[in-house]
Chain A
Amino acid sequence: DTEVTQTPKHLVMGMTNKKSLKCEQHMGHRAMYWYKQKAKKPPELMFVYSYEKLSINESVPSRFSPECPNSSLLNLHLHALQPEDSALYLCASSQETGWAREQYFGPGTRLTVT
């Protein structure tokens, strides 16, 4: 199984809502990532988890809160977002040994903040 799954595919939320994005992989990968991608731009790294521990936080605002409950699952909790947070949110995973390894991307969640 070489698939990374993400739910939901689309999410519309108001600025006062709380919602969560979910990402799952069953490839035995020990590194997982969240990226944010605006239209016609490359993905921007948000968070990296290595062995279920947060190893990189690229100065992301606290209204984004990642969680890695186990080695297969990665969540991104959203609260009090702004319209400029509307974007495609991509989850990826890679093997454990150094994260310059190839990353496998999920289908993404298209988020719209109203």
Chain B
Amino acid sequence: ELKVEQNPLFLSMQEGKNYTIYCNYSTTSDRLYWYRQDPGKSLESLFVLLSNGAVKQEGRLMASLDTKARLSTLHITAAVHDLSATYFCAVGTGNQFYFGTGTSLTVIP
């Protein structure tokens, strides 16, 4: 079974700071997704990464994928309070779709 690990599980960061969330997975994957979830809400798709070296950016978030290292990163630049949420990576391979453990991000003034 494919394992997907995220770290850190919890992240408290000050506004204006930068930080990176890591997503490691245990076997070859076809594609990698990042989702955001606000408390009590559904999952919002952030990024779809389809190939080695893929990099996507939206506002203060940038995601990258290294399929050889089986690693994806979600980099946060100059954090703002609105980014406070839980972030999940999800790995798709063949007929399976696995979610990471999630990273709960709190941005404090």
List chain A positions with a Cβ less than 8 A from chain B: 40-43, 45, 56, 88, 90, 98-108, 110
Contacts and interface: CB of A to CB of B under 8 A. Distances in A.
17 contacts: A40-B104, A42-B102, A88-B40, A90-B42, A98-B94, A99-B95, A100-B92, A100-B93, A100-B94, A102-B33, A103-B33, A103-B90, A104-B45, A105-B35, A105-B42, A105-B45, A106-B42
Contact of B42 (A98, A99, A100, A107): A107
A88 B100 CA distance: 18
A17 B43 CA distance: 29
Contacts of A107: 41-42
Contact of B88 (A42, A45, A99): A42
A43 B48 CA distance: 18
Interface residues of B, number: 25
Contacts of B102: 40-42
Contacts, number: 51
Contact of B92 (A41, A101, A105): A101
B75 interface: no
A112 B12 CA distance: 30
Contacts of B100: 42
B97 interface: yes
Given A40-B102, A42-B101, A100 B40 contact: no
B66 to A, nearest CB: 18
B41, B43, B45, B94 — which one has the most chain A CB atoms within 10 A of its CB?
B43
B97 A103 contact: yes
B30 A90 contact: no
